[in-house]
Amino acid sequence: MNDNQLLRYSRHILLDEIGIEGQARLLAASALVIGAGGLGSPAALYLASAGVGRITLVDDDVVDLTNLQRQILHTTARVGQPKAESGREALRQINPEIDVIALRERAHDARLAQLVQGAGVVLDCSDNFATRHAVNRACVAHAVSLVSGAVIRFDGQISVFDPRSAASPCYSCLFPQDQKFEDVACSTMGVFAPLVGVIGAMQAAEALKLLMQVGSSLAGRLLLLDGREMEWTSIRIERNAACPVCGAAQAMLK
C-alpha cells in the first residue's frame, strides 16, 4: 500500500477491526453489482470510496430524467447514457485507482455464472424477481456470498445469503422460485428517495464486512424497514432443506 492509499483509507485503517490487513483485502477484492439504479448507486459509490479493487456494474438501461430523484450515480448531463457507463464515470471520479467494469447487458443464467464465478461478493440491486432468482442460483452454484436489497414505496428490506455456510438459507428459501410473486415497479407505485440510499448503503456495508472478514453478516436474518415510521423489524430465516436451489446444492456435496 503506497502513501497515497494510506492517506485515502486512513479512517478505515484506524479501526482496529480493519487495519492495514483489512484494507489490503479490499484493494485485492472484486464485487459484482447487479443494477446501477436506486440501490446500486449508493452501494457502488461506497464500495468505490472504500477501495474495492475491482467493481463490475451490470445494467442494460439508460439514464432517464425520472431516475435522478434517487439514482445518485447519475447526473442531468448524462441523461440518455447507459447507466453502467454513467456509473463507471461516477466511480472513477470518486476513486480513480480502482478498476471499474461497465457491462450494458441484462445478465441471464449462463452469463451470470461467468460473472459470479470471478466475484468475491455479489450485490443484487435489481428490481425484479426473475433477475433476483437468477443471481441467487449463480451465487449458490459458485458459493459466493449474496447481499440482497429491495425497496418500494416506503418499505425496504435487506439480507445476506451465504452459500459458504451449510446453515445459511438462500434467496429461494425466502421467496421460493416456483411461486409467483408480482413485480411492483416504482414507475407505477413510487419510491421514497432516501430509502434506497439507506438500503443501498447497508448493502455496501454488508459487502465490505464480508470482503474484510469483519463482524457478523445478516445471513439468516431479514431486516425490514418501515420508512414512514422509521422502524426496523428483524426476522429470522431458516434454510429450507427441500429448497430446489440450495437444498439440491447441499445434497450434491454429501
Task: Count CA atoms closer than 13 A to 140's CA, side-chain side.
Answer: 28
d(CA 234, CA 212): 24
Q: Is 186 a catalytic residue?
A: yes
Cα Rg, the chain, nearest whole Å: 18
- Asked if residues 138 and 34 have their Cβ atoms less than 8 Å apart, the reply is no
- In the DSSP assignment, the letter for residue 182 is -
Closest-CA residue to 152 (of 126, 113, 133): 126
Q: For 133, list phi and psi in degrees, rounded to 5.
A: -70, -35
> Catalytic: which of 125, 173, 186, 246?
186
Q: For 150, list phi and psi in degrees, rounded to 5.
A: -155, 145
d(CA 51, CA 24): 9
- Asked if residues 8 and 33 have their Cβ atoms less than 8 Å apart, the reply is no
The residues that are catalytic are 186
